[in-house]
Structure 1
Amino acid sequence: MSSTMRAFVLTGPRECSVQEVPVPRAVAGEVVVEVERAGVCGTDVEFFTGAMAYLHQGHSAYPMRLGHEWAGTVTEVGEGVDPAWLGRRVMGDTMLGDRTCRRCRRGHQHTCERRQEVGIRGGRAGALAERLAVPAWSLHALSDPVDAVLGALVEPGGNALRAARATGAGAGDRALVLGPGTIGLLTAMFLRAAGAEVHLLGVDSLDFARGLGFANTWTRETLPGSPFDAVVDATGAAGSPALAVELVEPAGRVVYIGLSGQPSSLDTRALVLKDVTAVGVLSGSPGLAETIAAYASGAVDPRPLVAATVGLGDVGAVLAGERIGGAGPKVHIDPRR
């Protein structure tokens, strides 16, 4: 086996290349995975532009290797790892807590103050590479119906599942999702699977969402006055958190999963006077296993979201905003290309 592999390396804002880097080795407690698919997401774009807050808070630094939505096959196991993992198809949790602090011990390792995040935080190399090293405890096995495409959609799906669950919406409820991007559309899919009447609000063409079977798609100008029992903000707009509270019914729920590049203004008097419950969702970690099950059963099928699958050499163009492939919001990378 070669001692080097190809990986996408970000060396500064808008500075990147595909480089030959050392192949990772499975240290004690970890495995090495041959990456078959890796998704590109908005967080990766923020690192590419230099806008990501972690860069300014000391949690991340260039050079770095991106990629936290991935699927692949275990090719090597380290000391203390069950050899049964060898050859298994897997995806992995992005959030790697220290497993010793109070938050980790209480089952909230995704909020650990000392956490690493694969391809994001703490120097943990990501999946835009031919191989990836991660702790064995972070793995989730993929069942046969969940191929590499679906496997690389589990991480964003876990976020969306948690957002949908946080609304409490089901049969007889009307839910509005702000922002028809990847997370917004996945959230809409999980809400639909739960039996809710789903509405989507965007700023321009919503033909793609309609093609996924979401007939109730609106702009701000066309949004009907129907009551919404729950509103999910999956945008990056600073004004959306306040809009969500404005649009939700009294005693309803608002869920925040989108992050703005600047502080949002929200009058908490509106929350109190409408008796609204507000929930923030940071990570898909607690929802990964359920997401895999939902994909395996066919209850949720996110395949149409993938507009194209390209190689490592195309990552820079994707991050720079070049439109590749079809109308879907997600681009996948096959590092073997």
Structure 2
Amino acid sequence: MLHGPGRAAVEDVPPPVAVPGEVVVRVERVGVCGTDVEFFTGEMAYLHQGHSSYPMRLGHEWAGLVAEVGDGVDRAWIGRRVMGDTMIGDGTCRRCRRGHQHVCEHRQEVGIRGGRAGALAERIAVPVTSLHAIPDSVDPVLGALVEPGGNGWRAARAADVGPGDRALVLGPGTIGLLTALFLRAAGAEVHLLGRDEESLAFARGLGFADAWTEPELPDLPFDAVVDASNAAYLPARALALVEPAGRVVYIGLAGSPSLVDTRTLALKDVTAVGVLSASPGLDATIAAYASGAVDPRPLVAATVGLEEVADVLAGRRPAGAGPGPKVHVDPFRRAGPGRTEHD
């Protein structure tokens, strides 16, 4: 439970109840996200816009087994491995009726917005309509990577590149690397731009030989540029780097406003796409993981228990963590040294 900036503790809380239309899931794995860190520091914009408030329970990248169902829910769900959509629309507004519940004005976001408790717990209650079934070939580690992967899938799809095309991803963090994996699966030549050699070395270890710092970036034509960074100046840089008639995808969010010269956008005949949420890409991401077309498991550096989450949110790396950018949580794991997925 998070009670304020820097104030997190493991607590016993009443178990969730499967009300009509909802299920209770036994959580197997949860990913810690940059959004969670912003709530921990108090910087998250939703706190200042009235969409979120303390106390709250984080956790929106999760996988687990359905343990209970409420009235009106098919009992066949019980025992199935699932992950859940973070975005839960009201189901009645124009946006929801048009299939865009992820931008519903009155949406809840699991572990983020509207008081909907997150998955950093042994159990979580969610609407059955938010569930996506996971096949046996997708283990809990992959299951908890579906939500961030869906963002990467959407960004890669928005880039609209394939064999013979060249794409550049700005920011080799979790979302940037996932986007790069999906771009590579589509057949594109993928380059990454980062700030430090450690993250770039990890990207090279994933097979992305073309990983550069800004001074090293070669003067090449990029048919698509994906900004997956949190740097306020890079949206304009993305537009400068993309080829005329190319595509720029904005999925990263900076802490301050970014400026893009729309004259450049028009004169280069560039298509710009913004991406919020994995919702439209969850099923495609599950399919890509199940087939082996994309394997993001190397991104997970360590798995910890609930007792260690506060340290992770505060930026402390678990003991024995690997080089990847993602930390997972097993809610049933007791405190102990962090271990990588490969231990």
With normalisation by structure 2, the TM-score equals 0.96
Q: Which residue of structure 2 aligns with residue 79 of structure 1?
A: 71
- Provide the C-alpha distance between the structure 1 equivalents of 2:218 and 2:286, rounded to a whole number of angstroms: 35
Query: After the TM superposition, which residues 1-337 of structure 1 pair with which residues of structure 2 at under 5 Å, given as runs?
Result: 9-205=1-197, 206-324=200-318, 325-337=321-333
CA distance in 2, matches of 1:239, 1:85: 46
Deviation at 1:296, TM superposition (A): 0.3
Structure 1: unaligned runs, 5 residues or longer? 1-8
Tell me the equivalent position of 1:3: none
Q: Distance in 1 between matches of 2:262 and 2:54?
A: 38
Q: Distance in 1 between the 2:293 and 2:281 partners?
A: 15
Output the amino acid matched with 1:141: A
SS in 1 for 2:203: helix
Deviation of 1:187 (Å): 0.2
Cα deviation, residue 329, structure 1: 0.2
Identity, in percent, stands at 78
Shift of 1:251: 0.5
**Misfit runs of 4+, over 6 Å:** none
Q: CA deviation at 1:267?
A: 1.1
Structure 2 CA distance for aligned equivalents of residues 97 and 55 of structure 1: 19
Structure 1 distance, partners of 2:230, 2:209, is 23
How far apart, in 1, do the equivalents of 2:216 and 2:317 lie?
28
Which letter does structure 2 place at the counterpart of 1:299? A
Tell me, in whole angstroms, the C-alpha distance in 1 between the residues paired with 2:69 and 2:317.
38
Greater CA drift, 296-305 or 265-274:
265-274
Cα distance between partner residues in 2 of 1:256 and 1:105 = 26
Distance 2:136 2:284 in 1: 15
Between the aligned partners of 1:223 and 1:235, the Cα distance in structure 2 is 16
Displacement of 1:266? 1.1
Cα distance in 2, alignment partners of residues 246 and 226 from structure 1: 12
Match of 2:339 in 1: none
Q: Deviations over 1:185-236 (max 9, x none)?
A: 0000000000000000000111100000000110100000010000000000
Give distance in 1, aligned partners of 2:39 and 2:264: 34
Question: What amino acid is aligned across from residue 147 of structure 2 in structure 1?
Answer: E
Shift of 1:323: 1.5
Specify every segment of 5 or more residues in structure 2 that has no aligned partner in the other structure, as ranges: 334-343
Number of positions where the alignment pairs a residue of Structure 1 with one of Structure 2: 329
1:5 — aligned with what?
A: none
2:338 corresponds to:
none
Deviations 1:171-190 (A, max 9, x none): 11000000000000000000
Bigger shift: residues 315-324 or 191-200:
315-324
> 1:240 corresponds to which letter in structure 2?
L
How far is 1:132 from its partner?
0.2
SS of equivalent to 2:26: strand
User: What is the aligned-residue RMSD (CA, Å)?
Assistant: 0.4
Q: Once the two structures are superposed, what CA deviation does each residue of 1:284-315 show, in whole Å capped at 9, x if it has no partner?
A: 00000000000000000000000000000110
Aligned-partner Cα distance in 2 for 1:50–1:241: 25
TM-score by length of 1: 0.97
